[in-house]
Structures are given as structure tokens and as C-alpha cells.
Structure 1
Amino acid sequence: MWRLKVSEGGGPWLRSVNNFLGRAVWEFDPDHGTPEERAEVDTLRRDFTRSRFHKRESQDLLMRMQVLIYCVSRLCKLVVYANLGFKLQHLPYNSQIIYCMQYAKEKLLQVQVDLPAIKLVDIAQVTEETVLTSLRRALSQHSALQAHDGHWPGDYSGIMFIMPILIFALHVTGTLNTVLSREHRREICRYIYNHQNEDGGWGTQVLGPSTMFGSCLNYVTLRLLDEVDNEALIKGRAWILLHGSAAAIPQWGKIWLSVVGLYEWFGNNSIIPELWLVPHFLPIHPGRFWCFCQLIYMPMSYLYGKKFVGPLIPTILAIREELYSIPYGEVDWNKARDTCAKEDLRYPRSLLQDVIWTCLTKFVEPVLNCWPVNKLRDKALKNLMKHIHYEDESTKYIGICPINKALNMICCWIDDPNSDALKLHIPRIYDYL
């Protein structure tokens, strides 16, 4: 059974400024929990899969169960002293734990019974008593989810492209089999299958309709995890081909597929790294962008400048022929560059944007790749790596979000596959799984 480890860490490749307070990592332990608890978890899994099209968001039931039991087992002794007037230390340790667990379940049941949910449609007038009852119920449930170190752990779920980009980073750096155990792979596949829409595609987020971005990235993830043709994969591939193939994936998707070798860099709009060398006072300097924007496009610029492509293993070559309606070698990348599936198009580009991207792609990028101007690119890439290393070191290799964490990890591997930076990145992958 999966066990939630809170405020734990250590070893030469894990760093923390607060002794890992607030860190929550899942670890599989086949002997964790009682047989009844493991059976209950299996039941919860089956129930979620059965109702996945009607109740798609995660409920964090396993985390809630474990956090509650852990907290109560730590604090229950004091409550028992106050309410029952005897000392638990006179009992054997195992008896103490059993008693605390029983007491915890009774208290949880008591909270649910004594504090019923009150809805405005069910009452004629809102009184002070109903407001206080609702507040007590909310505070009781919220405090029950607090971990023993004081923080509130939660699942980083809902966004359906987070898991794929982490898998892509592990694949590219050759650490996929090292980091992911068999149970990790099984759970990741279960998660992706559970959030596949009825039409066969995957959304950008769990509650959304199918998109080319979500469908391509999750399909490729399953294939990289050695999933072969099954009904879900066949339906997913059919959705992709029916809606324009991977050539119609939006810009972020084009970049990620280019990194793993499933799309050509020529089919991307230019993300010139030289932009980071312009004076900072200019409004076009990326350092003036919103923090998430600058810290994500910073490593993207590095990857674009390098035109990096991951290892072309047989699986990647096979996926190339699965994602497109025509042979991979016949795809018109010039046309694909500005192609976006209507399911992914939130706002059409303006004429000004079209002019800017065309100028960057047709004129600026070719010039920057010619000698002696290409010396400037080398300088820009070195400058970007300094920024990337600074970001990694200041966040202890967690990053501002999993997106730039995965991108930075790939950049560190490109810069030096044997670097300490890569070794410091790897343990922090578990923080996002």
C-alpha cells in the first residue's frame, strides 16, 4: 500500500533549509497497513474507476485516511487522559496504538454525525447557530487534514500535462527506470486511464473536454511506460488522428514532442535565446515577464537554441508513425508550425503576432545561425544556464512549478550528463509524483 511520508528526507542529494518541513512524498510499502485497510484501498480504486466519467476529480481519500490516523495517534493520548482519566503508558505499545486507532475512528464518526451539513435551500432563515454549526464542521474537517508537522498536504492533480512532462524528463535523461518502480508505473498508468474521456481523448485538465495537447502527451506517456495496444490506447490514437494528428498540437506540445523526438524543431515558432542578452531596462527583456512565464520560457529558449532531441529508441520511432495520419517523413512542418486544433485554440493570434512570428522564423533565426553571428548564440546559451542553475539552487531543485523543474532538469543533463545538478534534480521528482 502507498504510504505518505511527511517531513522526511536526507542523503547527499537532498537539500532543505527547514529540515524538510512541509515535504510530502508517496512511497510504496507492500506491508503497510492491515489487510482490511489494503482491501479498502482496492475498493476505493474500483469505485473511482467505475464512476470516473461522473466524478472525475481526485478525492485524496488515501491521504486523508493516513493523515488522520497519524495525527490522532500522536495527539490522542492527551485527549484520552482528559476524557477517560487513565494513563496509556501503562499499556503495551501495540495496545496503545490499537486503542488510539479505535478512538480516532469513533471521534471521526462523531464529527460526521454531530455536525451535519446545512444547506441554505433547506432552511428558511439563517441564524447564528446554523452559521456556527457550518463553521465548526468546516474547521473540524480542515484540521483533520493537517499533517503532524503543521502543513496541509494536497495532491497536485487536475492538470493533465504535469505527469507526462515529468516522464518525458526522466526518459530524456535516461533515469526513467531508476526513478520509477514497477508500482510507480502501475499507478501512473492507472491515473491516466482513469482520466481518459469517453470519446477516447484526454483533456488539458481532468474536468475539461479532450484536447490535442492533453491527448498527445498522455498517449505518449503510456507508450513510454511500455503500454502496448489496448482498447484505451486505440481509442486515444483514433481521437488524435481524427482531430488533425499531432501536427495540430499547440505550441507547448510542439516543444515537448520535439524534445522527445516526435516532432521537428523546424515546425516550432522561434524562441530565440538571444533575447535574454538585451538590456534589462527594455520591455522586451524576458526578465520583465510574469515569473511563471519567464521561468518556463527560459529553459524552453535553451532547448530551442540547442535544437535538442532525446534518444531515438525503437519506441519513439514507433510512436512517430502512430501520431500522424501520414508517414512522419512526409509531414509538412512549415505548415504544422502555425496549425492548432480547434479544441486547443482559446484565442486566435492577431495579425501583429503573425507578423512577429514570421519575421523571427524566416529572417531572425536564420541570421542568428550564420557565422559569425552564431557566436552570440553560444553566449546566450551559457547565460541561460547560469540563470537555470541559480533558479535550481535557490529552490533546492524543486523549481517554481513542475513545468520548469522538468525543463531545468533536461537542460542540466544536456549541459553535463554527469553533473551534480542532475543528481540533485532526481530525488525531487518524487515531490511531484
Structure 2
Amino acid sequence: MWKVKYGAGTEDPHLFSTNNFLGRQIFEFDPNAGTPEKRAQVEDARQNFYRNRYKVKPCSDHIWRLQMLRENNFKQTIPQVKVEDGEEITFQKADAAMRRSMNFWSALQSPHGHWPAENAGVMFYIPPLVFCMYISGTIDTVFNEHHKREMLWYMYCHQNEDGGWGLHIEGPSMMMCTVLNYLAMRILGEGPDGGLDNACARARKWILDNGGAMGSGSWGKTWMAILGVYEWDGCNPMPPEFWFYPSVVPLHPSKMFCHCRLTFMPMSYLYGRKFVGAITPLIQQFREEIYNEPYKNIKWSKMRHVCAKADNYYPHGSVQRLLWDIVYYIGESVINTWPFN
């Protein structure tokens, strides 16, 4: 059973903290934790969430709340307050409702004084982590069977009815997140037609029915190129040389929104190196599964401006396309020629 652990990290030589890991919490798997009744309660909560996943998308930290309320021996002693339509809200009822909520939330407060909560919702966080572990050859070292099972469970729970995944757990299916999660499921051990309720087969059908993986957005194409299931020639340029320009330049990358800036900086380095992980038999299978035509026949340079309708929130204008083409055909040639290289 998974349990929350607070202040974890002191035993890890690779982690450090200036406040003794105050406020840090992780989930650890303990096969011997809890009684059979408690484990059954947790499993029932998991299955209930899966059955209702299309109606209620957030998990509400339900398993963590079960643990905290159980450890604190929580019992709600204040009766529930009900106010009918048109009824006057009295001070006594408002006071009782407030005290009832304070009683509940105080039982959920961690020993460190904070309230832990899931920091998730975006559906392109887990796949890149899985890709990095796979490329570096450490996936079975870093992730045990319980980690892999929970990551797969998270993907199952947030897969949309049509087989795809959205940008976030509430979003409609889009190519980038569907491709990334499909590849992550396959790397984590699911077969082409595996997964709970045919998760992989449904995801692949959505990908192919919507034009294939080349319709992914720029970040998706970058991660696929790094993994080896897409070619760098099919990506719009991200020259690392842009970062060498003086910061006074109007379009300097450092002026981008922080989340974009911190993403494009390492991506531009990998783009400059044209880094590609090892082409394993599994990667070769991916190349055959996510495209509607043979991988070797795809004209990658023509894929730069291809974007699936579901991903194309803000279509590129002709001027923007022209700028990309200038950098791609002219800028790249100059940068890769002596003495600029």
C-alpha cells in the first residue's frame, strides 16, 4: 500500500535541503502497510475513481485523505448544517458550518504544518521522464514495478473516452499528449494492444484516425525526435545560438514566459546537438505504429508546419511561417558553416 512520508530525503546523499526537508512529502510503497480491511478500502477508492473517471476528473487526493484521517483518528462531532432554498442563514448555522470545516481541515494538516496535495493535471509531465529513463538505460533502476504500475494507472484514469489524452486532465484529446502517453505506456511494458480496457489500441486508433504522430505540436515533435521516433528535420529550428545574443535584442529567448524559457533552453541544446537516443527494437516498433505511412517514406522537412486540428489552437500566419523557413533553410546553413560552426 502507498503511504505518505514527510520530511523524506535526509537519507539520500544526492538530495540536500536548507530547512531539513520541511514541507517535503513523497509517497512510498510498503507491501506490509495497513490491515487487509484498510488495503481493501484503498483499493475500493481506486476502483471507484476509475469507474467515475469521466464524470469527476480530479482525484481529490482521496487516498492521502484516507491515510491522514485514519492516522489522526478523525471523527466529525459537529452535525452537518443544511440550509434550504429561501431559508435565512443564521449566525448559529454559519458558525457551525465554519467549525465543522475547521475540524475537518485541521485533521488533514501534516506534521510539518502544511497541507499536501497532488501537483499534477498536465498530461505531458510523466512521458518525458519515462523517455529520459529509457534513453539513459536506468528505467528499471529508478522505477520499480510499483512505480510503473502507478504511472500506468494514472494514464488509464485520465484517458478520454475517445482514446486520447488532453493537454490536461479536463481537456479534449490532442495529438501531442496522446502520442507521448501512448509511447510512455509502451515503454512501461504494455503491448501494442495492451493496457486496461484496451488503452493502447484505443490510443493508437485515435492517433492514426487524426492523421498520425506528425501532427503533434512542437514540444511533442521535439520529444519524439529525442526518443528516435521522429526526425529533427521535421522540427522548426531552435538554434542554441539565439541564447548568445545580447539580451537587449527584442526577441531574445530570455524574455519568454518562464515556463517556455526553461523548456526551450534545454530543448535548443538538444536541437543543436541533434541528439537521438539509441534506436532499439522497441523504437523501431514505435515507428511502425504511430504513422499512416512507412517511416522511411515520410518527407520530414514538409512536416514542420503540419499540426493536427486538435493541437492547432493558434494557427501560424504566413509571416511566421516565412520566418521559420528563413531560419530553417538559410540560418541553419550559415550556422553550420565555418567559421560559425
- TM class by shorter-chain length? over 0.9
What RMSD over aligned residues (CA atoms) do the two structures have, in Å? 1.7
| Higher percent of residues as helix | 1
Q: How big is the shift at 1:128?
A: 4.0
Distance 2:165 2:144 in 1: 25
* Residue 5 (1) aligns with residue 10 (2): no
Distance 1:122 1:332 in 2: 64
Q: Which residue of structure 2 lines up, in the alignment, with residue 275 of structure 1?
A: 242
* Residue 34 (1) aligns with residue 35 (2): yes
Report the 3-state secondary structure (helix = DSSP H, G, I; strand = E; otherwise coil) of the residue aligned with 1:321.
helix
1:289-316 superposed Cα distances (whole Å, 9 cap, x missing partner): 2222221111111111111111211111
Q: Which residue of structure 1 lines up, in the alignment, with residue 130 of structure 2?
A: 167
Distance 1:255 1:277 in 2: 21
1:332-374 superposed Cα distances (whole Å, 9 cap, x missing partner): 2122111111111111122332222111111111210112211
Q: 1:34 and 1:353, CA in 2 relative to 1: closer, same or farther beyond 3 A?
A: same
Q: How big is the shift at 1:127?
A: 4.3
Distance 2:8 2:104 in 1: 25
Segments of 5+ residues of structure 1 without an aligned counterpart are 73-103, 375-433
Distance 1:352 1:144 in 2: 57
Q: Which residue of structure 1 lines up, in the alignment, with residue 107 of structure 2?
A: 144
- Tell me the percent identity: 43
Segments of 5+ residues of structure 2 without an aligned counterpart are none
2:275 corresponds, among 286, 308, 323, to 308
Any residues of structure 2 matched to 1:314-333 within 5 Å, and which?
A: 314-333=281-300
Q: Which residue of structure 1 lines up, in the alignment, with residue 17 of structure 2?
A: 16
Q: 1:200 and 1:3, CA in 2 relative to 1: closer, same or farther beyond 3 A?
A: same
Q: How big is the shift at 1:151?
A: 1.6
1:16-41 superposed Cα distances (whole Å, 9 cap, x missing partner): 11111111111110001111100111
Distance 1:260 1:249 in 2: 14
Q: Which has the higher contact order (CA 8 A, sep 6+)?
A: 1
Any residues of structure 2 matched to 1:258-407 within 5 Å, and which?
A: 258-374=225-341
Report the 3-state secondary structure (helix = DSSP H, G, I; strand = E; otherwise coil) of the residue aligned with 2:278.
coil
Q: Is the 8 A contact 1:21 1:149 kept in 2?
A: yes
Report the 3-state secondary structure (helix = DSSP H, G, I; strand = E; otherwise coil) of the residue aligned with 2:269.
helix
1:139-191 superposed Cα distances (whole Å, 9 cap, x missing partner): 33333322110122111222111111111121122211111111111111111
Larger radius of gyration: 1
Report the 3-state secondary structure (helix = DSSP H, G, I; strand = E; otherwise coil) of the residue aligned with 1:110.
coil
Q: How big is the shift at 1:12?
A: 1.5
Q: How big is the shift at 1:62?
A: 1.1
1:72-96 superposed Cα distances (whole Å, 9 cap, x missing partner): 2xxxxxxxxxxxxxxxxxxxxxxxx
Any residues of structure 2 matched to 1:109-188 within 5 Å, and which?
A: 109-111=76-78, 114-116=79-81, 122-188=85-151
Distance 1:183 1:211 in 2: 28
Distance 1:264 1:285 in 2: 26
1:238-283 superposed Cα distances (whole Å, 9 cap, x missing partner): 1100001001001110011111111101100111111111112222
Q: Is the 8 A contact 1:275 1:286 kept in 2?
A: yes
